[in-house]
Chain A
Amino acid sequence: MSRVGGSFVAMKKKPVREMKKISFDVEKYRRDFPLLNQKVYGKQLVYLDNAATTQKPQAVIDAVTRYYSAENANIHRGIHYLSQKATDAYDESRDKIQHFLGARDWREIIFVRGATEGINLVAQSYGRKFLKEGDEVIISAMEHHSNIVPWQILCEETGARLRVVPINDRGELLLGEYEKLLNKRTRFVSITQMSNALGTINPVKRMIEIAHRTGVPVLVDGAQSAPHLAVDVQDLDCDFFVFSGHKIYGPTGIGVLYGKAEWLERMPPYQGGGDMISRVSFEKTLYNKIPFKFEAGTPHIEGVIGLGAAIDYLTKIGLGKIAAYEAELLAYAAEKLSSIPGLRLIGTAKEKASIVSFVLGEIHAHDIGTILDQQGIAIRAGHHCAMPVMERFQVPATARASLAFYNRKEDIDTLERGISKVFEVFK
């Protein structure tokens, strides 16, 4: 699998509304996803809500079923056959994720519930230890609430201050403004690699370089990017990286926090309990080494195993291939949709992936969503947990179609027809 560390997928404008011939057997891959083959309200399901959650290939479903049918046991401390098997499967998944992210060491991979928990862990554990009154944390104006609120909570607790990098009308981060915000009080930067509301891909590698000049660590929120771009955390040189399993064709309730060992070792525990200790007494408790220090209690074993299976599945296809196909599909979608009179795209960054957010004049996103739903088309309508983005673009909500590699040209055509129906209702 080719590692294209921190690279972008450019949106190309096509002169004709044809999809360029990329050799990607989408129909073959669709057959791997049993849920896609169904009708809703008598219409073929067109699932375009992948930024909210992705569907699961049979391989992932089988891995979870197999675990519970034959291999379930608690891990790490059991001394019987099944517990050894379960432990091996669990540890193997961690290794797979280490390689998937290009991390140096398996001990830098921490299992959490999802990107949200990963960010909260860093904010609380790193933040409360290293931040004090008057310090500053930088985020951007396009963040998901999960990369805003934990920092707000931290700032309230420590007396630190939150600074926000503005975005332009295309939904692009203003790098110059980011550089201006960095000052000697800056202690942390937390940035999304790809916006869930706009699809914008941020130049995180460059931003990390700039922050590191003054020793400021950076967390990259990869919840949306990990499924669509190949990530190499050493190439990015990010200090922390988070992503969620359910957005990358894996189970819900599982996610990953990658952190450089040098930070994780200095950070206090997040949750206390079993497994994260090396020795407990009422006088004094000694904490375990990383990554276990941050994994209290029996983990979501099935989730870890399912996530490992998802990573295997993706690696077999090749994330580079997936990214290239999705780029073509996105270009096709953007061109088709932007030529619909009365449709305004929200988020038209030069570098973006997978996401098409739009508004239809005065017609509210909720109404768009319901009318599309009745035609079997699943999109999302609302603020997408990014209220500041809605505010920035002066819209109460957007309709958002988000692509995955099992979507095809026909899905976009159906969406286009669906949108005409919306206009019909509201003429």
Chain B
Amino acid sequence: MTSELKELYQELILDHSKSPRNFHAMKGAHRKAEGYNPLCGDRITVYLQLDGGVIKDISFEGSGCAISKASSSMMTASLKGRTVAEARDFFENFHNMLTGRGKSVDKEKLGKLVVFQGISEFPVRVKCATLAWHTLHAALESDGQTVSTE
């Protein structure tokens, strides 16, 4: 396996894709948003329960590739218990890291999520990793529109 592939499909990502955390619907969710990648068929629904400005609970459902599943799983694991402001911060950092836009990336703040930095070597797959985050963003801003990667 090439070193690039090894990085893309490393242990942590494979583990999260096989056993995704918080992978269920949420009854009584305050916010809900749907995301879709029409190019490959990845679909995700993100559920949020908010208390004050804190994400009390977060979960997701959907089908998709290993990268999108792992990203969704790790996102929910990272954000549970965080404030909405922190979540927005995460989103920006993560997005900048993947799209390599030269903007500052605070890798420490990202914690385990830095594991996705290998995706920038696979530009075609960036949308797989960011789908969950864009969907989360929509859930937070709650304009009710389905998010699409296109």
Contacts and interface: CB of A to CB of B under 8 A. Distances in A.
Interface stretch (B1-9, B24-32, B84-92, B132-140): B1-9
B122 A382 contact: no
A365 B37 CA distance: 13
Interface stretch (B49-57, B63-71, B73-81, B103-111): B63-71
B1 A397 contact: no
Contacts of A397: 40-41
Nearest to A43: B2
A426 interface: yes
Contacts of B115: none
A425 B14 contact: yes
A76 B75 CA distance: 62
A365 B128 CA distance: 12
A390 B65 contact: no
B40 A382 contact: yes
A40 to B, nearest CB: 12
Contacts of B21: none
A262 interface: no
A94 interface: no
A391 B125 CA distance: 23
Given A363-B66, A366-B65, A382-B40, A425 B5 contact: yes
A363 B67 CA distance: 11
A366 B128 contact: yes
Contact of B14 (A365, A396, A426): A426
Contacts of B65: 364-367
B40 A381 contact: yes
A367 B68 CA distance: 10
Contacts of A367: 9, 65-67
Nearest to A371: B5
Interface residues of A, number: 20
A143 B73 CA distance: 35
A235 B40 CA distance: 39
Interface string B92-129: 00000000000000000000000000000010110010
Contact of B122 (A370, A383, A426): A370
Interface residues of B, number: 21
A421 interface: yes
A396 B63 contact: yes
A374 B64 CA distance: 20
Contacts of A283: none
A383 B4 CA distance: 26
Interface in A361-412: 363-367, 370-371, 374, 381-383, 387, 390, 396-397
B68 to A, nearest CB: 8
A382 B39 contact: yes
Interface string B29-48: 00000000001111100000
A41 interface: yes
A394 B74 CA distance: 27
Contacts of A382: 39-41
Nearest to A390: B41
Given A382-B41, A397-B40, A366 B1 contact: no
B64 A421 contact: no
A424 interface: yes
A41 B1 CA distance: 12
Residue of B4, B5, B67 ringed by the most chain A CB atoms within 10 A: B5
A377 to B, nearest CB: 13
A370 B2 CA distance: 12
A370 B1 contact: no
B2 A364 contact: no
A374 B5 contact: yes
B18 to A, nearest CB: 8
Contact of A396 (B8, B9, B41): B41
Given A396-B41, A397-B40, A426-B14, A421 B1 contact: yes
A383 B14 contact: no
A364 B14 contact: no
Interface in A324-374: 363-367, 370-371, 374
Nearest to A395: B41
B117 to A, nearest CB: 16
A364 B66 contact: yes
20 contacts: A363-B66, A364-B65, A364-B66, A366-B40, A366-B128, A367-B66, A367-B67, A370-B8, A370-B122, A374-B1, A381-B40, A383-B40, A390-B41, A396-B41, A396-B43, A396-B64, A424-B1, A425-B1, A425-B9, A426-B14
8 closest cross-chain pairs (CB), A and B = A364-B65, A366-B65, A396-B41, A397-B41, A367-B66, A382-B40, A366-B40, A374-B5
Interface of B: 1-2, 4-5, 8-9, 14, 39-43, 63-67, 122, 124-125, 128
